[in-house]
Structure formats: structure tokens, C-alpha cells
Amino acid sequence: MTLRHFFLGLTFVTSLAAQMPNPYGLPIGLEAARKPVAAALAEAARNKWTMAAAVVDPSGTLIYFERMDNTQVASSKVAIDKARSAALYKRPTKEFQDGLAAAGAGLRLLRLREASPVEGGIPLLVDGRIIGAIGVSGDTSAHDNVCATAGAAVINK
């Protein structure tokens, strides 16, 4: 391991310890959960990507899920995993992906239960409180994140 990888990993572990300061709020309801999924899948359709999208409450319990036709089957579970990870760890899953890519101490995240190290999961906030999270999967992780961001933007204002 190089010194650079050590410091990148150390930076990731430090950022992991400093979670989003946002407290958990009341869980997102079914009607509200449909909105970010609709926005995420609309973004996917505009770009001709096929996606699955899930919204969970702060405890990681699935509230709403939808999968576009012809989306690979595995993306259903991956979308839910990304949403759970973002809710439980109070951060976008891209932070886990970046930490893993840095190697070194960032590899420790492989031991974190239900931490999905692939971008596409984003916490949902109302009045600064985490009410749940959205997870999207079906294309590249960068495209998944574009759709998750579009979905989260409906709630995170």
C-alpha cells in the first residue's frame, strides 16, 4: 500500500465517522414515496435507460418499488440495497464507492453490514431530517446516480 492510498483511505474512514448531521425524521409515506420514484424513472426514460427504483424509510424498510420493462432482474435487489444503505448510514452510496476505490483503510467498509458501495443511493430529506432514501439501479452506476439525484430532488429542497 502506498502512502497516498493510506491517506485516501484514512480520509474516507474519517468522513464515514462524520455522518450527515441530519437527524432521522418521521418515515416517508407511500404517496410521498411514489414521487421520487416517478421522477427517477422519468429521467431514465428521457435517457433511454432501463431502471429499477426503490424508496425505503429511515430504518431501511421498503416503502415503494417500481421496475421499468426490460430492466435486468438483479437491479431490483440492487436498487433496494442502495436505498437501505443510504438511509441506514445517512449518506449517498457514492461515498462508499469513493472510499472503496481509494483502497487502504477504505477497504474496511466491506465489513459494514448493508453498506452498498455503488453510487445510486441518496437520503431523502424534509426540513433537514432524513425521512428515507431512494436507490436506483439498472445501467452504469453513474447513470443510476443521475436518476437517483433526479428522484431525490423532488423531496430534497
| CATH number for the domain that contains residue 116 | 3.30.450.150
SS3 for 69? coil
pLDDT attached to residue 123: 98
What mean pLDDT comes out for the span 107-120? Answer: 90
Confidence of residue 103 (pLDDT cuts 50, 70, 90): confident
In this structure, is residue 67 part of a structural domain? yes
- For residue 13, what are the CA distances in angstroms to 24, 83, 135? 22, 21, 23
- Would you say residue 18 lies in a domain? no
Range of the domain at 37: 27-93+111-155
Residues in CB range of 77: below 8 A, 6 or more apart:
none
Task: Give the chain's domain count.
Answer: 1
pLDDT tops 60 at residue 72? yes
Q: Which of 74-78, 102-106, 146-150 has the lowest mean pLDDT?
A: 102-106
Exposed, middle or buried: residue 104 (CB in 10 Å: 0-12, 13-18, 19+)?
A: buried
Closest to 127 measured CA to CA, from 101, 97, 94, 156: 156
The pLDDT of residue 105 is 84
Q: Over the stretch 120-142, which tens digit does the pLDDT of each residue have?
A: 999 999 999 999 999 999 999 99
- The answer to whether residue 81 is domain-embedded is yes
In a domain, 68, yes or no: yes
The pTM of the full predicted model, rounded to 2 decimals, is 0.86
